[in-house]
């Protein structure tokens, strides 16, 4: 597909990954971007402030479940590509309030697919050839691995949390719209992301802001759950590559080949902070670590085999975990004005996911 100048509708673009994608697309392409976001608690203006006045950027505050407004957006913006990142994304919140996840992640994705199909059918064939619906998903849909093995595109789905079940459902709807109606769908399933502008409820930013606030650094269970970490800018590059050059109907698993236990991640953050911003009292940040009751149904290990996207599209991550975490911690140290109001406003970082349901 010619990637010269596309009209790209990004949903969830005021969130963590969506904003990284938009910042990249404005800086590195000629694409025209429309960011459609409901602005939930997870959205921040700061994440898109650097592009807000750019002539190739637009924003519309819309709920992706609102079929009439979404249809209108397709009419007015007339996209070549839609990248769906709008979602409820925090596993602990999905344990406490699964209904929000079913609504946005499943009904919202269905609403977008229907609008995209109507739009696609009305396009002339030359534009149909380049139209893409890119649904962004997670490796969590595959369930949990033992000590060995990897998730890849052919791994059967086995979601185990309300979050991953809702994402799995939306993946199936996206694939069904491809097979049943011929919509040119692309699907990506990525491992855990980290980097600038991540809401301080997820492990890495939560650990950084709690460390700097002198609070306990909560580690679930014994901290031996394993995740494969990817720096968000590398994910954004992969997403761009997939919707510009990926084959419609294909799915791609994306990961950083950076498996770490949660405890190792927290200890690494502590060690970097000891160097970059030593505590005033001469003690080490790791002394703030505290082990807390595990998340119910906590998946044991995720790991990605990203050889397909590497071989077919030429993608590989530019950051290893050490360079990515150093950049991330440096960013949080320099941007307290972004995260401090969030933790005060939303009590982010308080223990979620323990509701007795
Ligand atoms: N964060 C990760 O590690 C990770 C890894 C793999 C895949 N993903 C997937 O990537 C996508 C983005 O994740 P993220 O971490 O950036 O999430 P996020 O929570 O930071 O951002 C989600 C964005 O979606 C918006 N949104 C939520 N509900 C909406 C609705 N009904 N209508 C319109 N907008 C709505 C929010 O306002 C927010 O800006 C999600 O689909 C997630 O499942 C995330």
Pocket lining for ligand 1, CB < 6 angstroms? 11-12, 14-18, 37-40, 42-43, 63-65, 85-89, 104, 108, 136, 138, 167, 190, 192-193, 199
pLDDT value at residue 4? 82
Given a cut of 70, is residue 201 above it in pLDDT? yes
- Report, as an integer, the average pLDDT of 7-30: 98
Please indicate, yes or no, if residue 70 is contained in any of the structural domains. Answer: yes
| CATH number assigned to the domain comprising residue 57 | 3.40.50.720
Percent of the chain with pLDDT over 70: 96
Please indicate, yes or no, if residue 104 is contained in any of the structural domains. Answer: yes
Given a cut of 80, is residue 165 above it in pLDDT? yes
Residues 166-183 pLDDT 10s: 999 999 999 999 999 999
Residues 87-143 pLDDT 10s: 999 999 999 999 999 999 999 999 999 999 999 999 999 999 999 999 999 999 999
Element (H, E) at 322: helix 321-334
The confidence band for 345, taking pLDDT boundaries of 50, 70 and 90, is: confident
Given a cut of 70, is residue 356 above it in pLDDT? no
Active-site residue (options: 110, 120, 150, 163): 163
Q: Is the dihedral of CA 82, 134, 239, 266 positive or negative?
A: positive
pLDDT value at residue 198? 98
Given a cut of 90, is residue 219 above it in pLDDT? yes
Separation of alpha carbons 48 and 28, rounded Å: 15
Q: What is the mean pLDDT of the chain?
A: 95
Separation of alpha carbons 338 and 87, rounded Å: 21
Answer yes or no: are the C-beta atoms of 190 and 258 closer than 8 Å.
no
Please indicate, yes or no, if residue 130 is contained in any of the structural domains. Answer: yes
pLDDT value at residue 2? 45
> Known catalytic residue: 252?
no
pLDDT value at residue 355? 57
pTM tops 0.85, yes or no: yes
pLDDT value at residue 1? 47
- Report, as an integer, the average pLDDT of 337-344: 94
> Known catalytic residue: 41?
no
pLDDT value at residue 339? 97
Please indicate, yes or no, if residue 81 is contained in any of the structural domains. Answer: yes
**Mutation test of ligand 1: which of 13, 16, 304 has the most ligand atoms closer than 8 Å to its C-beta?**
16
- In this structure, the residue with its CA closest to atom 38 of ligand 1 is 15
Taking CA atoms, 153 is separated from 60, 134, 184, 251, 315, in Å, by 33, 15, 18, 6, 16
Please indicate, yes or no, if residue 25 is contained in any of the structural domains. Answer: yes
Residues 85-100 pLDDT 10s: 999 999 999 999 999 9
End-to-end CA distance of the chain: 48
Question: Is 331 in a helix, a strand, or coil?
Answer: helix
Q: Helix %, strand %, coil % for the chain, to 5? A: 45, 15, 35
The confidence band for 73, taking pLDDT boundaries of 50, 70 and 90, is: very high
> Known catalytic residue: 139?
yes
- Report, as an integer, the average pLDDT of 248-272: 98
For residue 149, what are the domain limits?
7-191+232-256+299-318
Answer yes or no: are the C-beta atoms of 89 and 162 closer than 8 Å.
no
Atom of ligand 1 nearest to the CA of 140: 6
Percent of the chain with pLDDT over 90: 93
2 vs 302: which has the higher pLDDT: 302
Please indicate, yes or no, if residue 45 is contained in any of the structural domains. Answer: yes
**Mutation test of ligand 1: which of 61, 86, 187 has the most ligand atoms closer than 8 Å to its C-beta?**
86
Please indicate, yes or no, if residue 206 is contained in any of the structural domains. Answer: no
Separation of alpha carbons 318 and 320, rounded Å: 7
pLDDT value at residue 310? 98
Question: Is 37 in a helix, a strand, or coil?
Answer: strand
Please indicate, yes or no, if residue 350 is contained in any of the structural domains. Answer: no
The confidence band for 344, taking pLDDT boundaries of 50, 70 and 90, is: confident
Number of domains in the chain: 1
pLDDT value at residue 192? 97
């Amino acid at each position: 597909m010619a990637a010269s100048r596309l009209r790209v509708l990004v949903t969830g673009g005021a969130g963590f990954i969506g904003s990284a994608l938009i910042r990249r697309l404005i800086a590195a392409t000629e694409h025209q971007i429309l960011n459609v976001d409901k602005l939930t608690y997870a959205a921040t203006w700061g994440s898109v402030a650097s592009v807000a006045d750019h002539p190739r950027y637009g924003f519309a505050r819309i709920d992706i479940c609102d079929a009439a407004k979404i249809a209108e957006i397709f009419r007015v913006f007339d996209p070549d590509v839609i990248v769906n990142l709008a979602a409820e994304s925090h596993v602990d919140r999905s344990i406490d309030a699964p209904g929000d996840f079913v609504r946005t992640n499943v009904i919202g994705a269905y609403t977008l697919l229907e609008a995209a199909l109507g739009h696609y059918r009305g396009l002339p064939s030359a534009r149909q050839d380049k139209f893409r619906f890119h649904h962004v998903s997670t490796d969590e849909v595959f369930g949990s691995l033992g000590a060995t093995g990897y998730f890849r595109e052919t791994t059967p789905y086995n979601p185990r949390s309300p979050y991953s079940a809702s994402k799995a459902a939306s993946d199936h709807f996206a694939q069904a719209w491809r097979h049943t109606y011929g919509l040119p769908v692309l699907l990506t399933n990525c491992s855990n992301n980290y980097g600038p502008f991540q809401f301080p409820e997820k492990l890495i930013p939560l650990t950084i802001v709690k460390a700097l606030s002198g609070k306990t650094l909560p580690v679930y269970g014994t901290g031996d759950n394993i995740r494969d970490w990817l720096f968000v800018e590398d994910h954004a590059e992969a997403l761009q590559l997939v919707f510009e050059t990926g084959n419609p109907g294909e799915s791609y698993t994306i990961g950083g080949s950076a498996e770490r236990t949660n405890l190792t991640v927290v200890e690494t953050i502590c060690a970097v902070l000891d160097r970059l911003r030593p505590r005033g009292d001469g003690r080490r940040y790791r002394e703030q670590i505290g082990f807390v009751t595990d998340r119910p149904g906590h998946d044991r290990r995720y790991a990605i085999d990203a050889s397909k996207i590497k071989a077919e599209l030429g993608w590989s991550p530019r950051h290893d975990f050490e360079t990515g975490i150093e950049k991330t911690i440096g960013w949080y140290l320099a941007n307290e004005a972004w995260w401090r109001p969030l933790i005060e406003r939303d009590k982010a970082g308080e223990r979620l996911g323990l509701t007795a349901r």
